[in-house]
Amino acid sequence: MDKVLLHCCCAPCSLSCIDPLREEGIEPTAFWYNPNIHPWKEYEARRDCLLGYAKEIGMEVRVQEDYGLREFVEKVAADLDNRCTYCYEHRLEGAARYAAEHGFEAFTTTLLASVYQRHELIAAAGERFAKQYGVEFLYRDFRPNFRAGNQRARELGFYMQKYCGCVFSEAERYQKQIDRDKARFSENAGK
């Protein structure tokens, strides 16, 4: 397989995917398309880290610049508990469309590396959009490489994000602190 588009959510997750693909004789072209990542500084940090790493290892990157805060929030606001489905589908459809329009034989995604993501939903979305756009979805379970990839990313000094990229996920990561502050300030309100 000569032309494979690798949708990349960030450089740390890409470490779990690039070497295994290269070991198979596949030289992926990275594809940055992540309109789910917010705020802007987070989006920029992840994109730029990927671009820097790709340059170091001689990997081509295609960037579809789309900071999609408004559209993302509009699409997920009515059903926040199922926002991940929209997020996976939107990005994988974008990758499948791009792959088909630019002569790639197949596409895959670094989302398949994360132990925190809903792997089955990602794989199902990839298969569905592969059929829709007439390009192969190269399924690989990259999760066994996840911890080692993150360790290597730390060693390389990569920007290491603390949440998936969705602004609602960022709020969830602070929920315990929010609850503690709420209790602390409500206790002090009567004093």
pLDDT of residue 191: 62
**Is 175 within the bounds of a domain?**
no
**Is 178 within the bounds of a domain?**
no
Does residue 190 register a pLDDT over 70? Answer: no
DSSP symbols for the chain: ---EEEE-S-HHHHHHHHHHHHHTT--EEEEE--TT--SHHHHHHHHHHHHHHHHHHT--EEE-----HHHHHHHHGGGGGGHHHHHHHHHHHHHHHHHHHTT-SEEEEGGGG-TTS-HHHHHHHHHHHHHHHT-EE-----GGGHHHHHHHHHHTT----SS-S-HHHHHHHTHHHHHHHHHHHHHHTT-
The mean of the pLDDT values for the chain is: 92
**Is 97 within the bounds of a domain?**
yes
**Is 114 within the bounds of a domain?**
yes
The pLDDT tens digits for 47-90 are 999 999 999 999 999 999 999 999 999 999 999 889 989 999 99
* Residue 145 token pair: 């490489």
pTM of the model: 0.89
Give the residue numbers spanning the domain of 131: 4-166
**Is 15 within the bounds of a domain?**
yes
Share of the chain above pLDDT 70, in %: 98
Residues in Cβ contact with 54 at an 8 Å cutoff, skipping those fewer than 6 apart: 30, 60, 61
Q: What is the CATH number of the domain that holds 16?
A: 3.40.50.620
**Is 180 within the bounds of a domain?**
no
Which amino acids are annotated as binding site, given as ranges? 9-10, 84, 87
46 within 8 A of 34, measured Cβ to Cβ: yes
pLDDT of residue 177: 83
Strand order in the sheet with 106-109: 61-63, 28-32, 4-7, 106-109, 136-137
**Is 124 within the bounds of a domain?**
yes
Question: Total domain count for the chain?
Answer: 1
Query: How many C-beta atoms lie closer than 10 Å to residue 67's C-beta?
Result: 16
**For 32, phi and psi rounded to 5 degrees?**
-95, 110
Which amino acids are annotated as binding site for [4Fe-4S] cluster, given as ranges? 9-10, 84, 87
**Is 177 within the bounds of a domain?**
no
